[in-house]
Structure 1
Amino acid sequence: MTDESDASAPRQRVVRVSGSRRARLTPVPGSDPEPESGRGEPTPRPARPKGAKGPNDDQLMQDVPPHY
């Protein structure tokens, strides 16, 4: 079930990256290869809650969940 209607059109190629476990694809013709990401500005740390401080509050504020 392949779509071979335009066999002469340029296609993506698989490019091996040395030192990496994964290969990369070349960009699709006519697309923007630069992804939009929010890495330009660092996210501010959340404000500390007001009130009494518990024994492990400092550690909990420094920990990052494993899925981040």
Structure 2
Amino acid sequence: MTDQPRQRIVRVAGARRAKLTAVEGATSEPHIPSERTAAPKDASGPNDERMLRDVPPHY
């Protein structure tokens, strides 16, 4: 088991969703990858072209 602090689920009366408690050392800002770590815009995988052409059967 890990000894790291974890978020706890707190029920809120009258609310549809529960809240999560804050963890020490965590921030509320989203992680935005820097330009160096982000994939290049023109990078594509071997199945990208086929995936873009495919249409789900219910269309």
Give the structure-2-normalised TM-score.
Answer: 0.39
Higher relative contact order (CA 8 A, sep 6+): 2
Give the structure-1-normalised TM-score.
Answer: 0.34
**Whose radius of gyration is greater, 1 or 2?**
1
